[in-house]
Amino acid sequence: MMGGFLLLLVFVGGQLVVLAGMIAIFIFFELLADRIRRRRIPRPSPPDWLAEWRAARQRFRELRDEYAGYECDPSAVLRLPALADVTVASTGRFVDAFAEALALHGEHEDQEPAEASANAYVRAVEQAWRAWRAAREAAERLSR
Nearest to 121 by CA among 100, 144, 140, 141: 100
**DSSP letter at 112?**
P
Q: Quick one: pLDDT at residue 16? A: 58
- 71 falls in which pLDDT band (50, 70, 90)? very high
Mean pLDDT, the chain, rounded, equals 84
Contact by Cβ (8 Å): 70, 76: yes
pLDDT of 65 higher than 80: yes
pLDDT of 8 higher than 70: no
**DSSP letter at 65?**
H
pTM (predicted TM-score)? 0.66
Model confidence pLDDT, tens digit, residues 78-94: 999 999 999 999 999 99
CA angle 23, 27, 28 (to 5 degrees): 115
